[in-house]
Each structure stands twice: as structure tokens, then as C-alpha cells.
A and B are shown apart, each in its own frame.
Chain A
Amino acid sequence: MLIRKPNPIRSSEITSKDNYLNRREFIRAGAASGAIAGASLSAPAALAAVIPDEPLAKLADIRKPSPFSTDETLTSYDDVTTYNNFYEFGTGKDDPHRNARDFEPQPWSIKVDGHAENTGTFHLEDFVKPHTLEERIYRMRCVEAWSMVIPWVGIPLADVLKALKPTSKAKFVAFETLYDPKRMPGQRRRVLDWPYREGLTIAEAMHPLTILAVGLYGEVLPNQNGAPLRLVVPWKYGFKGIKSIVRIRFMSRMPQTSWNLSAPHEYGFYANVNPEVDHPRWSQARERRIGSGLFAAKQPTLMFNGYAEEVASLYDGLDLRRNY
């Protein structure tokens, strides 16, 4: 069963809208360069790109430590970058790091539309530059019952969304991954209904734990981990952390999400980590911490992945068994 949504690229192929967007980009770029010129009087280093167009370059001016960071042992860089799911580059967990090697994440732009005042197409740099990069060391719990501890570098999603000025109609935020089978070989097979789509309620999106990550271990985000821009929502299963984002849309109704479309009785919209609500085919009560060794026992999974204190109130009155 294929539910095809109208292709979002179509409308931008209409010349008048294209010109319109270009005009806006031009104005924005001008404003941004003005801001840089001002800043450069005091700090010449600010002229360098926030996200260097060079694989694995060091990111500058990262604010840390964050009160939101965990002090648990970090999962090794090697494990974080060679073992993950990113079906756009293959369905095996070692596929992404092999098949994303030649992916060029820059130049990159993000289309913002829906119920917001500040819509249009933004260059990655303009999108990120106004905000301070922060290191956030988060637990990551995959729906497949394994977990990691990852030092992300990113910006709070709330800061970005506020700058886009959502209107009162915006109740949800939807995200889309790049769809380009030439660059993302995994998309040549219809394993999922491409492009990959995810979504959050506006309250979840505005929560201070939610970030847009641009880096890992103090460096530019590797391709296999969702370069150049990905979502990280630490109290939800990993698949909510949509990678290589090209579109952000403010919606009044709950958006469709890829895994929910693929298997609705197994993956819900919320996908909050919950040891009491099992996946229909396996238990979610315990998890294997990657890097803990061959003979290490699985550890208990915590409610909301251990972030209950921060986020439980978002779901007051919601039946979490039904809204999995």
C-alpha cells in the first residue's frame, strides 16, 4: 500500500515562486552578512562558517557543560559512527558508514512552511548561525532495545522555531529528510515510503531537551549520523531523530510519520521510551548498552529514557499505552 503525498518539489518548480524564494534568500543573506560584518569588528574568528564544509572539522565555540548532559560513560566514537540505522544508506546497521562516505552534505538548505510568519528557504549556515552551539550528552535508546550515550553538538530546536515565529495554528512540527536516490542509495529500494518523515507536538518541539544536532564529539556531524542537520529527542526512541533534514513544516494536525505509516500497530506517533509498553514482537523492559562487552547484562530501560523528571508533564492525562 503506497500512500503518496503530493511531491513538495513540484510547487517550487513554478518559476514565480522560485523567484520569490530567491528574493527572500537574497535579502536574508544580505542581512546575515551585515551581522557578521558587525560581529567581526570584535571577533574576526566569527567570519569562519559555523558548520565548516569539511568532513569532521572541529566545531568552534561550543558551550558546555550543559545541565541536561548525563555523566554516564560515553559510547566510543567508533561505535556511534559505525552502528546505527539510517535506511537512506541501507538497512544494515553497518551500511550507513560505508554507503554515506561520498555523500556531500553541503551546500544545504532547509525549507520552512506551514503556520509560521517566517517561512521560506534557508541556507544551513543562516539557520544555525544566530544560535549558540551547545554540547549535549544524551542517552539514545533505539526501539530495537540497544542504547548509547552520545555527545551531540547542536542548538535547541526551540530557539530555531521561535525565530521562525509559528502562529497560534501551529500545533505540530513536521520534518522531512532529503529525498535524492542518487545521493542516498538506500532510497532506490522502497523499504519505507520516502521521504522519511517525522513529527513532534509543538510542546515537544519547544522542550529544552530537544535539539537540532550539527555535530558529534565536538566535530561536524558525520554523514552516516545525519549530516548536516538532524533532530535529537532523547526521551523518544531513536527513529524519531530524523536525519538530514530539508523541510520543517508547522501544522495544525498531527503529521504522518514514516514508521507509523510502515507498521501502525508497532510504531506510534509519540514513540516515547517506555519499559512498560512492549513492542508487539519484543520486550522494551531492558536494553543492551553498546560497548558494554560480550558478557555484560542488559540494563533496565528507564521511563522516558531517564528524562521523566523533565518531560513526564508533557503527557499528563495521556494514555501512554494507547498513545505509544
Chain B
Amino acid sequence: MNINTRIRYVLKPLVFVLALLPAAFVVTDLFEITGRLGANPVEEILDRFGNWGLRFMMLALAVTPLRRVTGLAWIARFRRMIGLFAFFYIAMHFAVWLVLDQGLYLPGIGEDIAKRPFITIGMLALVLLTAMALTSTAGMRRRLGKRWNQLHTSAYAVGILGVWHYWWQVKADILEPLIYAVILSALLGHRLWHRRARSQGVTPRLRANQGAG
């Protein structure tokens, strides 16, 4: 099996199944097969989906730096799938908030989006992510050309908004959002460093020849 076959028929399905596990555990924990959702299951599901959304967002943003550092070009082929899983978990996070937390109570939902800055920025991140997910096909990418790159650069904005959204709702213990912020800073820092190195004429080991570099 060459590397392409292995990625397509072994690694990608494997990553796909692994990425679905957190969602599967929500279901099996709900029925107390694998664990429990605890006294406040709505909050627990909401937190789990939100957390996994952030984790996949960090992973998606880590693809390019990782590819540059390791020199393994094939890593980039997982970026779309990881990004779509970030979208999946954040969309689930939003759906759980809408249906289970707010109970589709529209006045409360409207007021929260307008009045609570952390919800407003969360919504903004979701809108950007949805636009990226809808244009993630090869066909859309071809059709949008340069604008595709511009649109998909908002992955950085989504990362920042996501961590901010988390940070802003914590009561006192900022440790977890701080960890995300440190990881995000490292990922964005790497890109800035890379861009600067390139503009100063230092040839990076691997040129970013596709997508938002």
C-alpha cells in the first residue's frame, strides 16, 4: 500500500471514528452504559460539545505548523476533516444550548445573543465556521478561488473568538481557558514568525502552497 492508499482507506477512516468518540460517549453516558452525565446533564453535554469544538479547532489550526515543523506534507490532508469536526461539535454545542438549555424559548435566546457579549462572540464564531464548512468542498474552493483563501483565513478569528467565549463565562478559575489561550498563542505565533521569515527572504523549508498558510 502506498501512502495515498493508506491515508485514504486506513488513516482517514480511523481519524473519523476517533473524532466521533466524544459524541458517542455523550449518548452512552446518557444511558449510563459507559459513565454518567451527572446531576446537570444539560450543562454537562453543553460543556463537552463546547470543549471538543475548541479542541478540534486547535487541532485544525495545528495542522499547518505541524506540517512545516515535521516536513510531512500529507498531514495537510487531514485539515478539512478536523475542521469539519470542529464545526460539528460547535454546531452541536449551539443546538444543545438552543433546544435543551433554552428550551427553544425565543425571547430568552434573542435577549442572550444581543445582551450577553460572550454569547454574541460565540455566535459570530459559529457564523464564520458555518461559512467555512459550507465552502469546504473541492468544487467550492475552485469556484471561489482567491476569495476562498480569504474566507478560510477566518479560522484564526474563530479560534480567538472561541477561547474568548470560554474565558468570558468562567467564574473564577481561568486555568482551562488559559491553557487554550496559550496553545492558540503558540499556533498563531508560529504563523506570524513564519510569515515574517518569508517576507525577509528566508526560504522556509516547505512553502505553503495551498490554502491559508
Q: In terms of DSSP, what is the predominant structure of the interface of chain B? A: helix
Q: A87-B172, A192-B172, A263-B172 are in contact. Are A294 and B39 (CB under 8 A)?
A: no
Q: Does A191 contact B (CB under 8 A)?
A: yes
Q: Does A283 contact B (CB under 8 A)?
A: yes
Q: How far is the CB of A154 from chain B (nearest CB, A)?
A: 22
CA distance A282 to B120 in the complex (A): 12
Query: What B residues does A124 contact at CB under 8 A?
Result: none
Interface string of B79-115 (1 = CB under 8 A from A): 0000000000000000000001111010010011001
CA distance A283 to B43 in the complex (A): 16
The range of chain B's interface size is: 20 to 34
Q: How many contacts A-B (CB < 8 Å)? A: 61
- Assess the B173–A191 pair: CB atoms within 8 A: yes
Partner among B40, B111, B112, B115 whose Cβ is within 8 Å of the Cβ of A288: B40
CA distance A77 to B67 in the complex (A): 52
Q: How far is the CB of B138 from chain A (nearest CB, A)?
A: 39
Query: What A residues does B101 contact at CB under 8 A?
Result: 288, 298
CA distance A283 to B113 in the complex (A): 11
Partner among B41, B116, B173, B175 whose Cβ is within 8 Å of the Cβ of A294: B41
Q: How far is the CB of A240 from chain B (nearest CB, A)?
A: 15
Query: What B residues does A163 contact at CB under 8 A?
Result: none
Which residues of chain A in 165-218 are interfacial with respect to chain B, using CB atoms and an 8 Å cutoff?
189, 191-192
- Assess the B172–A91 pair: CB atoms within 8 A: yes
Query: What A residues does B169 contact at CB under 8 A?
Result: 281-282
| Number of A residues, CB within 8 Å of B | 28
Q: Does B24 contact A (CB under 8 A)?
A: no
Q: With CB as the reference atom, state the residue of chain A lying closest to B170.
A: A91
Which residues of chain B in 91-148 are interfacial with respect to chain A, using CB atoms and an 8 Å cutoff?
100-103, 105, 108, 111-112, 115-118
Q: How far is the CB of B30 from chain A (nearest CB, A)?
A: 8
Q: How far is the CB of B164 from chain A (nearest CB, A)?
A: 13
Q: With CB as the reference atom, state the residue of chain B lying closest to A293.
A: B41
Q: A83-B40, A192-B172, A288-B40 are in contact. Are A298 and B112 (CB under 8 A)?
A: no
Query: What B residues does A286 contact at CB under 8 A?
Result: 108
Which residues of chain B in 148-203 are interfacial with respect to chain A, using CB atoms and an 8 Å cutoff?
168-169, 171-173, 175
Q: How far is the CB of B172 from chain A (nearest CB, A)?
A: 5
26 contacts between A and B (CB under 8 A): A78-B39, A79-B39, A82-B38, A82-B39, A83-B39, A83-B40, A91-B172, A93-B40, A144-B171, A146-B40, A189-B175, A191-B172, A192-B172, A262-B172, A278-B115, A282-B169, A283-B115, A283-B116, A288-B40, A290-B39, A294-B42, A294-B100, A297-B103, A298-B101, A298-B102, A298-B103
Q: Identify the 6 closest CB pairs spanning chains A and B, nearest first.
A: A83-B39, A91-B173, A79-B39, A297-B103, A191-B173, A290-B39
Knowing that A82-B38, A191-B173, A262-B172 touch, tell me 7 more A-B residue pairs with CB under 8 angstroms. A83-B38, A83-B40, A189-B173, A281-B118, A290-B40, A294-B30, A294-B42
